[in-house]
Amino acid sequence: GIQVEQSPPDLILQEGANSTLRCNFSDSVNNLQWFHQNPWGQLINLFYIPSGTKQNGRLSATTVATERYSLLYISSSQTTDSGVYFCAVEADSWGKLQFGAGTQVVVTP
């Protein structure tokens, strides 16, 4: 099956810093989604981004489907950005998502 690799596995940021998270996938996909799992365990859909670039406040994402990767940018990080960021790909026509292992982000005041 398709492999989804995220890097780095862990990231510690000082409040106000910028960062980039990466997601590589091993085969062509129908779409890619980014999620944030907050410290309470809730999974929030940040972006549905099969290709191109999208922005939502301080977060933006870019997917280059032809090169099989996606990037999530966090700018001016805040403590509320802490949690685990997952990318997930839909590799077939059935809708099921294949998740990466996640990037654990800790933002310190």
Partner 1 sequence: DSGVTQTPKHLITATGQRVTLRCSPRSGDLSVYWYQQSLDQGLQFLIQYYNGEERAKGNILERFSAQQFPDLHSELNLSSLELGDSALYFCASSVSASNQPQHFGDGTRLSIL
For residue 61, the one-letter residue type is A
- Residue ranges of E strands in 65-109: 69-74, 83-90, 98-99, 103-108
Site for partner 1 in 73-92 (CB under 8 A): 86, 88, 90
- Of 33 and 77, CB closest to partner 1: 33
- Of 15 and 92, CB closest to partner 1: 92
Q: Which residues contact 39 (CB under 8 A, 6 or more apart)?
A: 82, 83
Residues that bind partner 1 (CB under 8 A): 30-31, 33, 35, 41-45, 48, 50, 86, 88, 90, 93-99, 101-102
